[in-house]
Structure formats: C-alpha cells, structure tokens
Amino acid sequence: MPKIYFVDVTNRDAVQASRIHLSKLQKTMVNIYLGQLGVYQSEFAFPCARIERNYVRGNLQLKDLGAAGNLVLEGWCRALVSDVTEAISTGVRDLNVSISTSDQMIKHKFGGRLDRNAVIREMVSAVTYAKSHGVKTIGVNAEDASRTDLGYLVAFAQAAQDAGADRLRYCDTLGYETPKTIYRRVKALAEQVESPVELHCHNDLGMAVANSVAGARGAIDGGVDAYLNTSVNGLGERAGQADLLSCILAIKFAREMEDYEIGDNLNLKISAKLASYVSYAFGVPIPINQPGVGENAFAHEAGIHADGTLKDRRTYELYDHELLGLDMEAPPPTRGRVITTGEFGGLAGFQHVYNRLGITFGDRDEARRVLEVVRYATAHNQLTLTDDELRFVAMYPEQAKTILTSPLQGGETVETLPVETQ
C-alpha cells in the first residue's frame, strides 16, 4: 500500500511571504525540530541565492553530523539549467525545480517567451542535467497545476518522469481546488503516469488542509505514494498553506482515514515545541483556536462540555494533549530574577545561563569563543536566544558561525564585539 510522507516548506514558502521573516539561525532551528519530529523532508533553502550559500553549507554539515536526524534537506530552484548548476555548486543533492504550467501563467507570466511545448522542454533539460550531475532526488513543480488542463498536465508529468524526476508536485497555487476536485484530478494523474505526487495547497479559500488530505487520498487510491507540502502553523504566502500538524491529525484521526498510512516515523511530542518556536521566531501568535496547539484546543468551559470531558476526555476530545508534548498542568514560568545572555552580555552572565542548562566549558577560552557566537547570533536574530538555540550554538559553534555569516566580497568574515572578561 502506498504511503503519505511530509515535505515541510516553512523555510522556503513561508519565509518568502510578505511581512514575515526568519533569520538563518532560526531556519536552522526549524530544520532541527523537523528532524526531531521525524518528517521526511524540509525544503530548506534557495541554493541559487548568494545570501543562502553559507546557511546551505552549514546545514549540510549539520546533516552529516546527525543534527537533523534523517531529515532530507532539499533545495528549490527554477527549472533552468543555470539554476540547477548554481544549486549543485552548494553541495545540495536533493532538488525541486519549478515551472508554471497553466495557460494563464504561460500567457501572462512568460509573456509569449514560452508555449506549452517550450515549458516541457525547459523542464526536461533541467531534470536531465540535474540527474546527470549527481542530484539524488528531484521533484518537478507544476506551478498552478490546479488551473492546468489535465491532458497537458499528464503529458508534462510523463515527460518529467521519463527525464528521471522522482515525483511531480501538484501545486494548487491559488487555493482554487475543492476536496472533491483535487481528489479526482490527482487520482487520474496518478493512474495515468504512475509517479508519486506531491500536494502543494494554498489556503486562499480556507481549504488547504482538506485539499491536501483529499489529494493524498487521490494519489494513494491511484496507486502511488503521496507527499504533502506543509508549513508550521500554516504560515505562507497570502493566506498561508496547509498546516503541518493539522494534516497529521486529520490523517491519524479523521473518519475513514484508517487505511491511509503515514510513512514518516513521527514523534508528535515535538509538535508543541515546534509550533511555539516558529510563532516566536516569526513574531506571529498561534491562533487561540489552532488545531492541537492553540490555547483553546483542549479548553472546556460550557457546563455540559466540562462535565463530559471530566467523566471521559473522549467525550469532547479526539486525541490526547500529551501526544503533542503539551503539559496542561504546568505552572506559568517562574517569576523573579531572570538572567539572560545576548549581544552585549558578559562572561559571568553567559556562564550563569549555560550552567542553568547544565552546560559547562572546559576553560575560559572555550567559553569566550562560544560567547562570541552567542552575541553575534542574538544580533542576527534581534531576539533573545531560546534555550534550544543556546544549546545548538554550544554544540555546533563552527557551523553556527558559518550559518550566521553572509558571503562577502573579498572573503567571509564574522563581525565580533570585544568579549568582557569579568
């Protein structure tokens, strides 16, 4: 039986959304949490963008060191040989290449430069080049697939598969589909091409999760694996994308989903930590009614509801809060004296913070070297570092330094501040 896998695109789609951004360190932490959660793949970077190159190199090093578990780190680029060449030069060996397929976009986005046949030729050239130059897995985006003529989409997908693509990404770029229509179209595509299908659903009409799950069912009923593109907390362009946790919960607990199996070895206890971190890093609060991790997701006030839940939680709860790493009985954070370390912090406060985390350093020189990276990372994020970010910097100071720098003309350097020795 085919299975469902998750390809999270928080570090690609969400970060290119208007008004919300992540630093390179924050993107790295998202990759680490996704690895701990157990999802299959993170679309982690634009490897063609010069500003991403050190972040890409640092994260590939961390992958080799086991920091991201079994997470596949996949880069995104346009379906152009020039883009693929740039991406490969960074060391990325898993790629997704993208080109528009709908007549709307071919006519108005490309402005007459390409027609349907030329779109297929461009895509095939990029895939063929990638496969012949060491790329291990390659997915092909059909941007605006939901508004693409199905017959042409089948021809496009077949050409991609013949060129060596591992799967086709069905992009509902404008959130145009309904669960019924995406099921029908994806099932037909799967049956005719017999290639795994990725579902990339936007939330413009509020149906991204429902469409993603329905599309996955269509792929599996059509005999192929399904890969769901998601973002943490549903963040993404315009109205966002399919929320990672909501899709997982729907597949695990919704009616008539018993025969659809998730292929990822998930540890859902990471869910609350991941959602909270992404909310903190983006500066976007988690809605009170967010499935699973919203403040009201397990809250009951109405008398009948409270009474029923206290007698048996299944009366009004489909799944347990403990599953997601939530502790409903935990007291609020301890008030009183709080010591932090950051951009202008000194050695004493720095060591106090790390002692609280159970981390000590061999000597003062090692502590100063890590403090230097902590100070730079805090300036980079413009936020106080979380405990997990502090642990990461202490464990991987060299990779952190790489990620925090940009490729500069004439060499790559890290700006530093003098370290207080008191």
Q: What residues form DSSP beta bridges with 298?
A: none
Cβ neighbours for 87, distance < 8 A, ≥ 6 positions apart: 47, 48, 75, 77, 95
Supply the pLDDT for residue 305. 80
Cβ neighbours for 80, distance < 8 A, ≥ 6 positions apart: 97, 122, 126
The token duo for 60 is: 């590939």
Averaged confidence pLDDT in the chain: 92
Supply the pLDDT for residue 410. 43
Q: Within a 13 Å sphere around the CA of 150, how many CA atoms are in the beta-carbon half? A: 13
- Please identify which residue in the block is written with the tokens 């017999």: 194
Q: Which of 31-40, 210-219, 228-237, 351-360 has the lowest mean pLDDT?
A: 351-360
The token duo for 355 is: 């002692």
CA-CA distances (angstroms) from residue 47 to 127, 165, 309, 315, 316? Answer: 16, 19, 49, 49, 46
Residue 332: count other Cβ atoms within 10 Å of its Cβ: 5
pLDDT per residue as tens digits for the range 358-392: 999 999 999 999 999 999 999 999 998 999 999 99
**Given pLDDT bands bounded at 50, 70 and 90, which one contains residue 60?**
very high
Share of the chain above pLDDT 70, in %: 94
Q: With contact defined as beta carbons under 8 Å apart, do 278 and 10 qualify?
A: yes
CA-CA distances (angstroms) from residue 217 to 83, 102, 224, 367? Answer: 33, 24, 10, 52
Please compute the mean of the pLDDT values over residues 44-57 and round it to a whole number. Answer: 95
Supply the pLDDT for residue 147. 98
- Please identify which residue in the block is written with the tokens 């950051």: 342
pTM for the predicted model, two decimal places: 0.92
The token duo for 53 is: 């190159």
What fold characterizes domain 4-282? TIM Barrel (3.20.20)
The span from the CA of 59 to the CA of 70, in Å, is 13
Residue 22: count other Cβ atoms within 10 Å of its Cβ: 19
Q: What residues form DSSP beta bridges with 262?
A: 4
Q: Angle CA(374)–CA(376)–CA(378) in degrees, nearest 5? A: 70
Residue 420 has pLDDT above 60, yes or no: no
The span from the CA of 389 to the CA of 381, in Å, is 11
Residue 6 has pLDDT above 60, yes or no: yes
Supply the pLDDT for residue 328. 65
φ and ψ of 192, to 5 deg: -85, -35
Q: Angle CA(168)–CA(170)–CA(176) in degrees, nearest 5? A: 175
pLDDT per residue as tens digits for the range 295-334: 888 888 787 887 888 888 888 899 999 999 987 665 443 3
Would you kindly state where each structural domain of the chain is located, as residue ranges?
4-282, 331-422
Q: What's the helix, strand, coil split of the chain in %, to 5?
A: 45, 15, 40
Supply the pLDDT for residue 308. 84
Residue 414 has pLDDT above 50, yes or no: no
Burial of 311 (0-12, 13-18, 19+ CB in 10 A): exposed
pLDDT per residue as tens digits for the range 192-214: 999 999 999 999 999 999 999 99
Q: With contact defined as beta carbons under 8 Å apart, do 31 and 73 qualify?
A: yes
Report which DSSP code applies to 16: G
pLDDT per residue as tens digits for the range 61-115: 999 999 999 999 999 999 999 999 999 999 999 999 999 999 999 999 998 899 9
**Given pLDDT bands bounded at 50, 70 and 90, which one contains residue 150?**
very high
Q: With contact defined as beta carbons under 8 Å apart, do 166 and 123 qualify?
A: no
Please compute the mean of the pLDDT values over residues 166-178 and round it to a whole number. Answer: 98
Residue 128 has pLDDT above 80, yes or no: yes
DSSP secondary structure of 233-269:
GG--STT-B-BHHHHHHHHHHSTT-TT--B-S---GG
Supply the pLDDT for residue 408. 59
Supply the pLDDT for residue 312. 86
Q: With contact defined as beta carbons under 8 Å apart, do 94 and 75 qualify?
A: yes
Please compute the mean of the pLDDT values over residues 230-237 and round it to a whole number. Answer: 98
Q: What residues form DSSP beta bridges with 8?
A: 42, 230
